[in-house]
Amino acid sequence: MAPRSWLDIAPDSPFSLADIPFGIITTPVSSSPHVGVATGEHALDLSVFALCSGSSDCRAITSHLEVFSQPALNDFAALGRAVHRENAGALIRGIDNALHPNYMHLPVGYHGRASSVAVSGTSIRRPHGQVMGNPTAEVPKPIFTPSKRLDFELELGAFVCKANKMGEPVSIKEAEENIFGLVLMNDWSARDIQAWEMVPLGPFNSKIFGTSGSAWVVLMDALEPFRASGIENENGVLPYMREGKEENVYDLNLEVELTIMANSIGVSPYVLTIYAAKSGTSTTIAGTNGKYLLFSFPQMLAHHTAGGCPMQVGDLLGSGTVSGTEPGTMSGSMLELSANGNNKIQLHGGDERTFLKDYNTLTLKGRAGGEEGGLVGFGECTGSIEPAITMQ
Amino acid sequence: MAPRSWLDIAPDSPFSLADIPFGIITTPVSSSPHVGVATGEHALDLSVFALCSGSSDCRAITSHLEVFSQPALNDFAALGRAVHRENAGALIRGIDNALHPNYMHLPVGYHGRASSVAVSGTSIRRPHGQVMGNPTAEVPKPIFTPSKRLDFELELGAFVCKANKMGEPVSIKEAEENIFGLVLMNDWSARDIQAWEMVPLGPFNSKIFGTSGSAWVVLMDALEPFRASGIENENGVLPYMREGKEENVYDLNLEVELTIMANSIGVSPYVLTIYAAKSGTSTTIAGTNGKYLLFSFPQMLAHHTAGGCPMQVGDLLGSGTVSGTEPGTMSGSMLELSANGNNKIQLHGGDERTFLKDYNTLTLKGRAGGEEGGLVGFGECTGSIEPAITMQ
C-alpha cells in the first residue's frame, strides 16, 4: 500500500507520494526561483521547509540547505543520489537513426544546444533553414525557407548529477549513481533541413532551435519499482557498457497528444492566447513505453565518457526517439507516424496531418504504476508552434 | 609606422602594440584569475589599471570596470565591439568533410563539448573508444581500444560576444559585431573512432575528449588591417549569408610544429616534466593561412542562428580545419598530411609519423604582418599526448 499524506491527493494524481519530482518554483511570497517538490495539486517549497527545519530528520541534507534556495537543481543534484534517497525518505516517504552497422553496438548520438533547452509551455518558433529546392534535380540546389516538415521526437531526458574530470571516464559501475532523474523531452526536429545538412557531420540547424523538457524531475529512486528489460540487443555489448543486470530501463507509459484550435485558420494574437488555455480538439497520436530503449542511460553515460569527455552537473542526456517493438508502440515522431510524410495521420474533428502546422500544440505525457494511489507521473511536456518570423 | 610604447617590445614579439590580445592572468599580488592584455613579454593587469583610473580617457569603459576583475572574458566581451574599439585605442592604441552536395552551400558543422575546451598547455589523454576490429570483415565488429589514429586539427576559434534570443536569428549584417576575437584552436580527433561512429549522426566520442585553445584572444579590431578574400565559393551563397564584402577572412600565417623527446621511449614522470620544458626535436609539419576558409565567421554565425538557435556570450565557433588551395598549404591535420595514414611524415632526427604517439607535443602558431614591429601574433596553442589510462 502506498504511503499516506496529510494532503488530499487524488488517486489519479500523477504526482503521488511515490513520485515527489523536483522542480523550480516561485511563490507569492518568494518571486526568486527556488526548489520545490510536486505532490498532488501542491508544491512543497523546500527553501521554506529548510528554514523551518523540516528536514532535521535527514542528517545528510542538513549541512546543505542552501541548495534549495538556488534557481536551478544543479547544486542539489551534485550532492549525489545517496543524499537524495535519504532526503526523499525523510520528506514524505532511439536512438535516432536508420540501421547502420554501428546501431546495435553503441548509442549513436550527437550534441545539441544547452542554450535552446526550454521548459514545458515555452512556444517554439518554426525555424528557417536550407532545404533542397527540388530533391530530384541532378545537381541539388538549396533554398532558404521556413521548415515545411516540422516534427517532434518523444524522448526521455536524464540529468547528470556528478561531474567527472577530463580524461577520467565514468565506469559502467559508477554510471547509475551519476544520474539524478528523468524528464519527458521533446527534441523538436525540422526534417527537411535535416535531410539536406546531415551528411557527413550529423544534424545541426535541424535540431538546435528548441528542445522542450517537462518541468518536474522524477528521481531515479522513484522509478526503481518500475524497472524493466529494454530491447534485446542481440550483439550483446562490449564490456565497458555491461551493467550485469537485465532490467536497466523503466516501464513508463508514454503518450503524445496533438491539439488543434477550431479557429486556428484566423492567425491573430488572440489565437495565441486561446492556445495558452489549451482548449481545442486533442487527439492522442502516439503511445509507447519507456522500456523501449536499446541502451540504458547508465550505458549512454559510460559510452559518452569512455574517451574521457568531462560531464558536468546538469548535463541533459536525451534517449533518442522512444519507438517500441510491438504494434501501436512503434512511432515517437511524425516522421514515423506518417511514414516519412506518405500517410496522413487522422485527427479528431476530421482534420489530418503529416507534419506540424502553426499553432498546433504538442503534449507529451508519462506515468508509471497507479495502483492504490502510487502513480509516478511526469508533468506534461507541452509546446505550441509559432509561425516563422519574417526574414529581412 | 607602428605606435611606440614605454615598454621595450622586441620587433619580433608576437604581441606587438598592434595586437594587444586579451586573456586571463594571475599575478604575485592577485592570485584570483582576472583580465589582462599581453604586450611584448609583459601582461598589463587590467583590474589594477582600472583601479588606478588608467582607462579614464575611455568613456565607454569607465562604467564597466568590474569586468576586468572577472575570472573569464565573458562580461567584457558582452560589452560589445564598439566598447572594445574605444577601449583598445585608449589603452595603447572548414570545413571538416569531404565534398558532399551541401559543401559549398552551408558551413557544415556539428556541436562539440564546451566542457572539454582546455587552455594551451593542458595535456590531452589518448582516448579509448569503439573502433572497427577488422574493417574488411563482412559483418564489421567493433573492439574497445585506445585510439591508434590520434590526430590534430588546425583551426581558428571565434568567441561570441553578444547573445541572441531563442527564435531570433542574428542577421548577416549584425553578425560581425557579435564576434569578439580569435584564438588558435586544436580540435583533437581520433580518426579510428570517428570512422566507426560518425554515420549517420556525425562525430561524437572522436572529438569530445579535448579541444585546445591559445590563451590570448586577439580582438577582431586588431585583425582589421589583415583582411583578405577567402576561398572562392563558385555557387555564391544564399542571401541570408551574403556579406556584401569580398574580404571577409584574414591573412594569417599558421604553422604546426611537432615535438618529440629524444628519450621518450622511457615513460616516466620525469619525461612529462621534460616535456613541459618543451625541449626535444621539433619539426614544422604544416603551414597554411587563415584566409583559406570557404565561409567567414560572420557567415557561420548567421547560419548557426538562422533557425533561431540562441547563442551565448563565450560560445566558441571553430572554423574547421584550415586547408589551403595552394601547394604546401593544403594540410591542417595528420589525416591530410599522411594521406589517411598511407604516407609517412618525415621528422627531424630521422623519425617519422602517420598519427600522433604518446608524449608528442603539438604546437600551433599564428601571426599576421610584422613590418616595423606591428606583428599581430597569437599565443601558441600547445598540447602533449598523455598515454591512455588503464581501463578496469
Taking only the tens place, the pLDDT of each residue in A353-371 is 999 999 999 999 999 987 6
- Once rounded to an integer, what is the mean pLDDT over residues B251-280? 62
Confidence of residue B5 (pLDDT cuts 50, 70, 90): low
Bridge partners (DSSP) of residue B378 are B366
Residue B296's pLDDT band (boundaries 50, 70, 90)?
very high
Kindly state the average pLDDT of the residues B22-48.
Answer: 86
Distance from CA of A147 to the nearest CA of B (A): 9
The average pLDDT across A216-224 equals: 93
> With an 8 Å Cβ cutoff, are B201 and A128 in contact?
no
Question: What are the grid coordinates assigned to A11, written together?
Answer: 488517486
B162 half-sphere exposure, CB direction, 13 A CA radius = 21
Q: Give the type of residue at B114.
A: A
Strand ranges in A187-297 using DSSP code E only, listed in sequence order? 189-190, 211-213, 218-219, 227-228, 249-250, 253-260, 281-289
In terms of CA atoms, which chain A residue is nearest residue B196? A102
Q: Choose the closest CB to B308 out of A97, A98, A209.
A: A209
Contacts of B198 in chain A (CB under 8 A): 200-202
Mean pLDDT, residues A162-172 taken together: 97
Q: Is residue B287 scored above 60 in pLDDT?
A: yes
Q: What is the DSSP string of A161-181?
A: -S---TT-PPPHHHHGGGEEE
Q: Is the dihedral of CA A239, A241, A243, A249 positive or negative?
A: negative
| Its pTM surpasses 0.95 | no
User: Which value, to the nearest 10 degrees, does the dihedral of the CA atoms of residues B5, B10, B16, B20 take?
Assistant: -80
CA–CA distance from A245 to each of A228, A229, A249, A295 (Å)? 10, 9, 10, 12
pLDDT of residue B87: 47
Q: How far apart are CA B207 and CA B200, in angstroms?
A: 15
Residue A205, CA distances (Å) to A264, B95, B262, B286 in order: 27, 16, 47, 32
Option in A110, A210, A311 nearest B204 (CB)? A110
Dist CA A23 CA A181 (whole Å): 11
pLDDT grade for B233, boundaries at 50, 70 and 90: confident
Task: State the ipTM, two decimals.
Answer: 0.86
Q: Is the pLDDT of residue A384 over 90?
A: yes
Residue A83 has pLDDT above 80, yes or no: no
Lowest mean pLDDT among A203-212, B232-241, B322-331: B322-331
Within 8 A by CB and 6+ apart from B221, the residues are B81, B84, B85, B88
Residue A87: strand, helix, or coil: helix
Query: Strands A376-386 and A124-125, how do they pair?
Result: parallel
Tell me the Cα Rg of chain A.
Answer: 21
d(CA A188, CA A195): 15
> Which residue in the set B97, B190, B199 is minimally distant from A307, CB to CB?
B190
| CA gyration radius, chain B | 21
Q: Give the number of beta-carbon pairs within 8 Å between A and B.
A: 209
What would the DSSP string read from start to end of B205-225? GGGSS-EEE-SSBEEHHHHGG
Question: A203: cis peptide before it, omega within 30°?
Answer: no
Cβ proximity of B376 and B367 under 8 Å: yes
pLDDT in tens, B72-102: 999 888 888 776 855 443 444 333 334 688 8
Residue B356 pLDDT greater than 90, yes or no: yes
Look at B109 and A203 and tell me if their CB atoms are within 8 Å. Answer: no
Q: Which residue of B has its CA nearest to A130?
A: B106
What is the model's pLDDT at position B158? 97
Region label for A314, one of left (φ > 0), alpha (ψ between -120 and 50) or beta (otherwise): left
Give the highest mean pLDDT range of A13-27, B95-109, B115-129: B115-129
Give the distance from residue B303's alpha carbon to the nearest chain A alpha carbon, in angstroms. 8
φ/ψ (deg, to 5) at B292: -85, 65
Asked if A147 lies within 8 A of B307 by C-beta distance, the reply is yes
Q: What percent of chain B has pLDDT over 70?
A: 85
Point out the least confidently predicted range of A304-318, B41-55, B104-118: B41-55
> In angstroms, rounded to a whole number, what is the distance separating the alpha carbons of residues A103 and A107?
7
Could you tell me the CA-to-CA distances from A366 to A108, A156, B136 in Å, in that order?
A: 24, 10, 45
B143 by DSSP, 3-state: which? Answer: strand
Question: Active-site residue among A34, A84, A128, A304?
Answer: A84
Residue-averaged pLDDT of chain B = 85
Mutate to test the interface with A, among B74, B95, B126, B144 (most CBs of A within 10 A): B144
Nearest CA in chain A to B241: A144
pLDDT at B86: 52
Is pLDDT of B1 > 60?
A: no
Please name the member of A124, A129, A238 whose beta carbon is closest to the beta carbon of B306.
A129
Quick check: B277 pLDDT over 50? Answer: no
Q: Do B118 and A166 touch (CB under 8 A)?
A: yes
Q: How many beta carbons lie within 10 A of that of residue A287, not counting itself?
A: 17
| A chain contacts of residue B202, beta-carbon cutoff 8 Å | 110, 198, 200-203
What pLDDT shows up at residue A136?
A: 76
A372's enclosing H/E stretch is none
- One-letter amino acid for residue A116 of the chain: S
Checking if the pLDDT of B258 tops 70, the result is yes
Percent of chain A with pLDDT over 70: 85
Closest chain B residue by Cα to residue A95: B201
Q: Which of B67, B366, B380, B76 is closest to B215 using CA atoms?
A: B380
CA-based nearest residue in chain A for residue B301: A205
B338 — pLDDT class (breaks 50, 70, 90): confident
Residue A262 confidence (pLDDT): 55
Q: Do A307 and B147 touch (CB under 8 A)?
A: yes
- Work out the minimum CA distance from B210 to partner chain A, whole angstroms: 7
**B376-386/B124-125 β-pairing:** parallel
| Phi then psi dihedrals of residue B361, to 5 deg | -115, 130
Q: How sure is the predictor about B103, in pLDDT bands with cuts at 50, 70 and 90?
A: confident
Give the whole-angstrom CA distance, residue B56 versus residue B61. 8
Upstream peptide bond of B200 is cis (omega within 30 degrees of 0): yes
How much is the pLDDT for B365? 97
- Best of A201, A234, A238, A316 to disrupt the B interface by mutation (most B CBs within 10 Å)? A201
Cβ pair A52, A91 in contact under 8 A: no
Q: How many whole angstroms from its chain centre is CA B154?
A: 7
**CB contact (8 A) between residue B205 and residue A311:** no
Once rounded to an integer, what is the mean pLDDT over residues B331-357? 89
Over 60: is that where the pLDDT of A67 sits?
yes
Per the rule left: phi > 0, alpha: psi between -120 and 50, beta: everything else, B367 is beta
Query: Is the per-residue pLDDT at B273 higher than 80?
Result: no
- A26-43 average pLDDT score: 86
**By mean pLDDT, which of A30-34, B10-14, B116-120 is the weakest?**
B10-14
Task: Reply yes or no on whether B84 is catalytic.
Answer: yes
> Of residues B84, B128, B303, B304, which has the active-site annotation?
B84
Alpha-carbon torsion, ordered A141, A142, A148, A152, to 10 deg: 120
At B58, the pLDDT band (50, 70, 90 cuts) reads low
- Is the pLDDT at B242 greater than 90, yes or no? yes
pLDDT tens column, B183-202 = 999 999 999 999 999 988 99
DSSP B14: S
- Give pLDDT, residue B256: 96
Residues in chain A: 392
Strands (E), B187-265: 189-190, 211-213, 218-219, 227-228, 249-250, 253-260
Averaged pLDDT for residues A164-181: 96
- The residue that leads in pLDDT, A55 or A234, is A234
Residue B262 — pLDDT band, cuts 50, 70, 90?
Answer: low
What is the pLDDT confidence band of residue A89, given thresholds at 50, 70 and 90?
very low
Strand pairing partners for A160? A179
CA distance B305 to chain A (A): 8
Query: Which of B148, B171, B196, B205 is best to mutate for the A interface (most A CBs within 10 A)?
Result: B205
Q: Which residue has the higher pLDDT, A61 or A197?
A: A197
